[in-house]
Amino acid sequence: MPKSRRLSDLACCYRVDGKKKFRLKEIDPGDTAGVESKEDATEQLAASVTALCELQEKLYAQGEWSLLLVFQALDAAGKDSTIKHVLSGVNPQGCCVTSFKVPSARELNHDFLWRAALALPERGQIGVFNRSYYEEVLVVRVHPQLLEKQKLPKPLVTGKIWKERFKSINDFERHLTHNGTIVLKFFLHVSREEQRKRLLERLRDKTKNWKFEIGDLAERKLWPRYMDAYEDMVQHTATECAPWHVVPADHKWFTRLVVSTAIIEKLRSLKLHFPTLTPDEKKALGVARAELTRDGA
């Protein structure tokens, strides 16, 4: 990495907060922002993993803020491995990952935000959404027939439904941030060619066969429609309180570094601290210390 570029600037480059018009074509999936080698990035990531571990300890101890990390991407863009690497140092007691799949019959009997609300992190916790309610304006938008399974009253299914969903999502995220949940959203932007290579690798490597689904090829054919849906999603739901990071994803080591940096920067800005004791609590600790000291005598 060039000495002139501070790590904190790295996340900023890919942050989209709705202040200016977002165009997906401006983000190159192969970009590495001048980070010269995988080795450099891996070293930086190791430092970030340690930093995140320390910040999480305070987040957990303080028990006031919570952090929601949303990951969206097409197949093989690296969601699973980014989550695995970036969060590798955090205490499992303070972190919960939820992977959102095709909604169950029970989930379809509720509004589209219901299952996400059930999985939100408690105060002090980090919640990770591997896919999320954003599927409702992505896969469902690309396959509008999925709406029929949602049992929505017919008069509510109009041409305005996507705009209405964006508004529901923005309102939901604003509500969360006003109540102490920090929302950070990551769209891992992989190129079509890199996806092809990774899907082929899933077919070639026996230990990766399980990740391949025949349906992935059908979705791949709809690439332009997905790109339009992703662009529209970011344009409508990138806000100052719940920004998107549109992260180049052709180099996994770079993706991890950007995601990890964005999380650390945000947590640092909260000025987290261990709980401070009141004079009475300090006095009680003094009494306990004296008692334990006497016990050992």
The residues that touch ligand AMP, with contacts defined as CB under 6 A, are 75, 100-103, 131, 135-136, 139-140, 146
Which residues lie near Mg ion (CB under 5 A)?
75
Residue 102's binding partner among Mg ion, ligand AMP, none (Cβ under 5 to 8 angstroms by kind) is ligand AMP
- From the CB of 216, what's the least distance to Mg ion, in Å? 6
Residues 95, 86: Cα–Cα separation, whole Å = 12
Say if residues 44 and 50 touch (Cβ distance below 8 Å): no
Looking at residue 99, what DSSP letter applies? E
Q: Which is nearer to ligand AMP, 75 or 250 (CB)?
A: 75
Residue 131's binding partner among ligand AMP, Mg ion, none (Cβ under 5 to 8 angstroms by kind) is ligand AMP
Query: What Å distances lie between residue 67 and 62, 64, 129, 264, CA to CA?
Result: 13, 10, 11, 11
- From the CB of 119, what's the least distance to ligand AMP, in Å? 12
Residue 20's binding partner among ligand AMP, Mg ion, none (Cβ under 5 to 8 angstroms by kind) is none
Q: Which is nearer to ligand AMP, 44 or 132 (CB)?
A: 132
Residues 54, 97: Cα–Cα separation, whole Å = 19
Residues 66, 183: Cα–Cα separation, whole Å = 9
- From the CB of 105, what's the least distance to ligand AMP, in Å? 13
Q: Which is nearer to Mg ion, 23 or 196 (CB)?
A: 196
Which helix H or strand E contains 29, and what residues bound it? none
Q: Which is nearer to ligand AMP, 1 or 83 (CB)?
A: 83
Which of 179, 149, 197 is CA-nearest to residue 29? Answer: 197
Q: Which is nearer to ligand AMP, 12 or 102 (CB)?
A: 102
- From the CB of 76, what's the least distance to Mg ion, in Å? 8
Residue 140's binding partner among ligand AMP, Mg ion, none (Cβ under 5 to 8 angstroms by kind) is ligand AMP
Q: Which is nearer to Mg ion, 60 or 212 (CB)?
A: 212
Q: How far is CA 194 from its chain centroid?
A: 21
CB within 8 Å of 263: residues ≥ 6 apart: 52, 67, 69, 86, 184
Q: How far is CA 284 from its chain centroid?
A: 41
Query: What Å distances lie between residue 20 and 17, 146, 170, 182, 233, CA to CA?
Result: 8, 32, 17, 22, 14
- From the CB of 75, what's the least distance to ligand AMP, in Å? 6
Q: Which is nearer to ligand AMP, 22 or 134 (CB)?
A: 134
- From the CB of 97, what's the least distance to ligand AMP, in Å? 12
Which of 256, 234, 236, 257 is CA-nearest to residue 246? Answer: 234
- From the CB of 72, what's the least distance to ligand AMP, in Å? 10
Residue 277's binding partner among ligand AMP, Mg ion, none (Cβ under 5 to 8 angstroms by kind) is none
